[in-house]
Chain A
Amino acid sequence: MYKLVNSCSKSKFIPLLSYPSPAKSANWASSSRNEFSKRNSRFSRVLGGESGRVRSYTSESDKECIEYDVVIVGAGPAGLSAAIRFKQLCQQKDAHLSVCVVEKGAEVGAHILSGNIFEPRALNELFPRWKQEQAPVDVPVTSDNFWLLSQNRAFSIPSPFGNNGNYVISLSQLVRWLGKKAEELGVEIYPGFAASEILCNEHNEVTGIATNDMGVAKDGSRKENYQRGVALKGKFCYSNLYLVCFLQRSFPKLHSIRKRGQGQHQTYALGIKEVWEIDADKHQPGSVLHTLGWPLDQKTYGGSFLYHMKDRQVAVGLVVALNYQNPFLNPYEEYQTLKRHPAIRPLLEGGTVLQYGARTLNEGGFQSIPYPVFPGGAIIGCSAGFLNVPKIKGTHTAMKSGMLAAESAFSMLQEGLKMENYWDNLRSSWIWEELYTARNYRPAFEYGLYPGLALSAVEHYILKGRSPVTLNHGKPDHEATREAQLFSPIEYPKPDDAVSFDIPTSLYRSNTNHDHNQPSHLHLRDPTIPENVNLPKYAGSEARYCPARVYEYIPDETGDLKLQINAQNCLHCKACSIKDPTQNIEWTVPEGGGGPGYTIM
């Protein structure tokens, strides 16, 4: 089935990070894999050496090399839809091409967190019979409320979301279902493996990715179960933005994805969410609520959601845009405050929190779409950024982008068409039209809550997305934080252990874990900046916006505050690498298999 070939292929390895990471025992569903025996794969041992942590181009590497036709980073809605679509095309045209998906979570779905009100548009195209195939999409939206909150009251305002025909789902469960479907079609999915490097050849074309080494101790030495990472080479590679950013830094001219795309920087928000099990008499499956206003102030964009799922479960969360100005803002505490609101508290009281988690989401929309094609691959899904902000939905567009990319890759491999075809297909698809219509809502809130609401109402009811102007985003999120001396510290109340909790309690509910004996995956480009800049100028804001208490300023023996990084707590939300004012914090991928363990998020 495979041949062990000794060959020395010359590939340039762009060193991104060499971390130890691995999945302790990868857990994956087994199903018949007829395609596997047909695939002509070979293991080629590439000889060579590497030098140290930051490697310059080396012509060889000693990582074992496994070849596929398509390699996909991330088993999320976009990655899996791409894999599935590709395999469906293979079946239709009787082609035998191989697809591999690597996923850093311990299982498919373990790192998936989303609201989620699901618009089945893309799923209808991917699996027209999804209902009969028992996709976990079975709670239709029954009511759609929109409230403007003040400290003690809730004012009902017209709901613009149009959720009729949509479903309340757990995206983690849907992604698990997609994973099963993908494996049935012959996609190989490997959870527990983190892609940490992007590989290029001498023409600066991407040839694949490499997973990180496993079993490296905190001090960088090899533990007894050390295993070298593996290179996964593909004729075509769907990468995530994280890896592509490294590519950009190495080849800024060749891969200037932002300039060649819609041009603007990406903007983000941090979403913090819990799934609760509440009393049956309070539960109304399909009931949907969104709020604006309190507890956030008028200069901070964001809002909350409360969706009734099935089995007495409700998803409740707060989304805070990361271009907030006040360094004393603590999104986690704002979320606890939200739950104490007299209109929300009674619903949750007496219930139990099942899971907790957090993740950043892209809010840049149309203006921030990058040019998603690079030689040898493409960027799909939320890595590119197709979230429809006013609708608060990005799953359907992510899935569609994956499907379009798969179609382009298939035509490229079978008919010799160019991958640039993906960009053309994106721009003529419903994703483009939808995001274009939605493009001015988020930027309108740069002017404040009420002007934003007013402008949005004009966009929605009068202009209906046909506005002749396109508003720009404000400053990048990390530049928006203003100095601490301009604000006063916010006193947040202590948790009441009924609807509000402290971070360690919440973190426990995220099932997060990382092997403690590995180097910290959070790097400081300049280790002196936290104490010299972040602390005096911004009051150490990272200790407040991190929803997992990774960053803490602790007094040392002399009484001075020093930054302590509790990397083991990390929820992989990426807020730190987005919001750090000096962009000093670099989030890198830790050992595969670590991180949160979401199942119903």
Chain B
Amino acid sequence: MKIMVAIKRVVDYAVKIRVKPDKSGVETKNVKMSMNPFCEIALEEALRVKELGLASEVVAVSVGPSQFTETLRTGLAMGADRAIHVEAPENIYPLTIAKILKALVDVEKPGLLFLGKQAIDNDQNQTGQMVAGLLKWPQGTFASKVVLDKEKQVATVDREVDGGIETLCLNLPAVITTDLRLNQPRYATLPNIMKAKSKPIKKFTLQDLNIEIKSDLEVVEVTEPPKRKSGVIVSSVDELIDKLKNEARVI
């Protein structure tokens, strides 16, 4: 069974981001980029499944401009066998990504598709769900535990939901999106980074996959959240009630 993992290149989580002066988006020039942390977790899970002997190959895929190949190289260094890069502009919306992933699934025919639950740049949390819908595959999102049964072709997924943990059984092929507590991603060691240089990255264009980018969404403006005003120390309960009622208007 092949496993496909979709990864995204985002602004590194430790970077202090700021909004561009023209408010069209977040400044990404001269800013450190890395693999989305949830995608790292997804790739790690795929590698663990392969190491258990339940899969033959892990293919990492990414959709974006040419710099995305750097992130794919990181994925190859972690242990993915092959990579696919779909050349596309930046900032494509989840539905288009989902359509592209569906087209790749039709080509590669994996038994499992892993994704991170969301990207830390736009926090959409939509791509996994949408691609499952397009493929008509079962989905287990926010996975905190994944157990595969190869014989029965079933994946048992523990999901972190608001009420606690929900356990689902999914028939393969399925889509699983990963949450933080699923695993601790491995480091890309120096020997693996060297070996990764010779692993193939296949390129596709949007035309090859017959996908057209069209979106009904347009970003009008991106602004910073309002600055938090400093707190006020009140001298009595009456003053507190007065402020809550008349200033904050919450009671």
Bound-state Cα–Cα, A223 to B186, Å: 10
The residue on A at minimum CB distance from B197 is A33
Some 22 contacts from A to B, beta carbons below 8 A apart, are: A22-B187, A24-B40, A24-B188, A25-B34, A25-B40, A26-B74, A27-B32, A28-B73, A66-B194, A173-B30, A188-B194, A211-B190, A224-B183, A224-B184, A230-B191, A352-B18, A511-B12, A511-B32, A512-B14, A597-B12, A597-B14, A597-B15
In the complex, whether A361 has a CB less than 8 A from a CB of chain B is no
Give complex CA distance A66, B15 in Å.
Answer: 33
Residues of chain A lying within 8 A (CB to CB) of residue B33:
27
Q: How far is the CA of A188 from the CA of B193 in the complex (A)?
A: 11
Contacts A227-B189, A230-B190: A30 and B30 contacting too (C-beta < 8 A)? Answer: no
> CA A225 – CA B186 in complex, angstroms?
5
What's the least CB distance linking B73 to chain A, in Å?
5
Interface hits, A351-381 → B, CB 8 Å? 352, 354
Minimum CB–CB distance from B126 to chain A (whole Å) comes to 24
Pair A599/B12 contact, Cβ less than 8 Å: no
Instruction: Determine which residue in B16, B30, B32, B187 has the highest number of CB atoms from chain A within 10 A of its CB, and name it.
Output: B187
B16 in contact with A1 (CB, 8 Å): no
User: Across the interface, do B184 and A110 meet the contact criterion of CB distance under 8 Å?
Assistant: no
Among A29, A33, A192, the residue within 8 A (CB) of B70 is A29
Q: Does B143 lie at the interface of the complex (its beta carbon under 8 Å from any beta carbon of A)?
A: no
Closest to B67 in A: A29
Q: Check A30–B32 contact: CB distance below 8 A.
A: no
* A44 → B minimal CB distance (Å): 11
**Are the C-beta atoms of B34 and A223 separated by less than 8 Å?**
no
Residues A509 and B77 in contact, CB atoms below 8 Å apart: no
**Inter-subunit contact A214/B189 (CB<8 Å):** yes
A106 is an interface residue with CB less than 8 A from chain B: yes
Counting CB contacts under 8 A, is A589 at the interface?
no
Given A28-B73, A29-B70, A599-B186 contact (CB < 8 Å): no
Judged by a CB distance under 8 angstroms, whether B31 is at the interface is: yes
Contact B16 A193, beta carbon cutoff 8 Å: no
Complex Cα distance, B184 from A133, in Å, reads: 42
* Interface residue B155 (Cβ < 8 Å from any Cβ of A): no
Known: A25-B40, A28-B70, A29-B70. A66 touches B191 (CB 8 A): yes
In the complex, whether B246 has a CB less than 8 A from a CB of chain A is no
> A513 on the interface (CB 8 Å rule)?
yes
**Within the complex, what minimum Cβ distance (angstroms) separates B247 from chain A?**
23
Residues in A whose Cβ lies below 8 Å from that of B77? 25-26
Whether B14 contacts A25 by the Cβ 8 Å rule is no
A508 at interface (Cβ–Cβ under 8 A)?
Answer: yes
Could you say which residues of chain B place their CB within 8 Å of the CB of A303? none
Partner of A27, one of B34, B183, B197: B34
Q: A438 at interface (Cβ–Cβ under 8 A)?
A: no
- Interface assignment of A251: CB less than 8 Å from any CB of chain B: no
Query: In the bound complex, what is the Cα–Cα distance between A29 and B70 (angstroms)?
Result: 6
Residues of B within 8 A of A (CB): 12, 14-16, 18, 30-35, 40, 69-71, 73-74, 77-78, 183-191, 193-194, 197-198
By a CB distance below 8 angstroms, the chain B residues around A509 are 16
B80 to chain A, nearest CB (A): 12
Interchain CB contact under 8 A, B30 and A599: yes
Contacts of A285-303 to chain B: CB distance below 8 A: none
- Contact A511–B14 (Cβ < 8 Å): yes
A193–B190 CB distance below 8 A:
yes
Within 8 A of B (CB), among A192-240: 192-193, 211, 214-215, 223-225, 227, 230, 232
B185 contacts A24, C-beta separation under 8 Å = yes
Q: Which residues of B contact A354 (CB under 8 A)?
A: 18
Measured between beta carbons, the chain A residues less than 8 angstroms from B15 are: 511, 597
A43 at the interface (CB under 8 A from B): yes
A386 at the interface (CB under 8 A from B): no
Query: Which B residues touch A600, using CB under 8 A?
Result: 30
Q: Are B74 and A215 in contact (CB under 8 A)?
A: no
Interface residues of A in 177-197 (CB under 8 A from B): 188, 190, 192-193
User: Residue-by-residue, is A24-55 near B (CB-CB < 8 Å gives 1, otherwise 0)?
Assistant: 11111110010010000001000000000000
Most buried by A among B34, B73, B190, B194: B190
Q: Is the CB of B187 within 8 A of A225?
A: yes
A26 touches B193 (CB 8 A): yes
Q: A1-B198, A110-B32, A599-B32 are in contact. Are A30 and B73 (CB under 8 A)?
A: yes
Find chain B residues with CB under 8 A from A27 CB: 32-34, 70-71, 74
Contact of A190 among B31, B190, B198 (CB under 8 A): B190
The reply to whether B14 and A227 contact each other, CB–CB distance below 8 Å, is no
Contacts of A224 in B (CB 8 A): 183-184
Q: In whole angstroms, what is the CA distance A26 to B185 when docked?
A: 13
Within the complex, what minimum Cβ distance (angstroms) separates B78 from chain A? 7
Instruction: Name the interface residues of A303-360: CB closer than 8 Å to any CB of B.
Output: 352, 354
State how many angstroms separate the Cβ of B90 from the closest Cβ of chain A: 17
A24 to B40, CA, bound (A): 10
- The answer to whether the Cβ of A149 comes within 8 Å of any Cβ in the partner chain is no
Q: Which residue of A lies closest to B69 (CB)?
A: A30
For the complex, is A552 an interface residue (Cβ under 8 Å from B)? no
Q: Which residues from chain B contact A599 at a C-beta distance below 8 Å?
A: 30-32
A230 to B193, CA, bound (A): 12
Q: Which residues of A contact B30 (CB under 8 A)?
A: 173, 599-600
Q: A173-B30, A352-B18 are known contacts. Are A25 and B189 too (CB-CB below 8 A)?
A: no
Residues on B with beta carbons closer than 8 Å to the beta carbon of A64: 191
0/1 per residue, A112-154, Cβ < 8 Å to B? 0000000000000000000000000000000000000000000
Beyond the given pairs A22-B189, A33-B197, 8 more chain A to chain B contacts, judged by CB atoms under 8 angstroms and listed by A's residue number, are A22-B187, A26-B74, A106-B12, A192-B188, A211-B190, A224-B183, A597-B14, A600-B30
Q: How close is B107's CB to chain A, nearest CB, in angstroms?
A: 24
A23 within 8 A of B: yes
B187 touches A43 (CB 8 A): no
A131 to chain B, nearest CB (A): 20
User: Do B197 and A36 touch across chains, with their CB atoms under 8 A apart?
Assistant: yes
Q: Are A25 and B74 in contact (CB under 8 A)?
A: yes
- Residue interface bits A491-527, CB-to-B below 8 A is 1, else 0: 0000000000000000011011100000000000000
Please state if B14 and A24 are interface contacts (CB–CB under 8 Å): no
Q: Which residues of B contact A230 (CB under 8 A)?
A: 189-191
- Collect the chain B residues with CB atoms within 8 Å of residue A107's CB: 32
CA distance A58 to B35 in the complex (A): 39
Min CB gap A279→B, angstroms: 11
Question: By the criterion CB–CB under 8 Å, are A25 and B78 in contact?
Answer: yes
B14/A513 in contact, CB under 8 A: yes
Least CB distance, A60 to chain B, in whole angstroms = 19
List residues of chain A with CB within 8 A of the CB of B34: 25, 27, 106
Q: Do the beta carbons of A597 and B32 come within 8 Å of each other? A: yes
- Cβ of B74 to closest chain A Cβ, rounded Å: 5
**5 closest A-B pairs by CB:** A513-B14, A599-B30, A214-B187, A22-B187, A25-B74
- A36: chain B residues at CB < 8 Å are 194, 197
State the CA gap A26–B73 with chains docked (Å): 9
Tell whether, in the assembled complex, residue B193 and residue A28 are in contact, meaning their CB atoms are under 8 Å apart. Answer: yes
Residue of B nearest to A30 (CB): B73
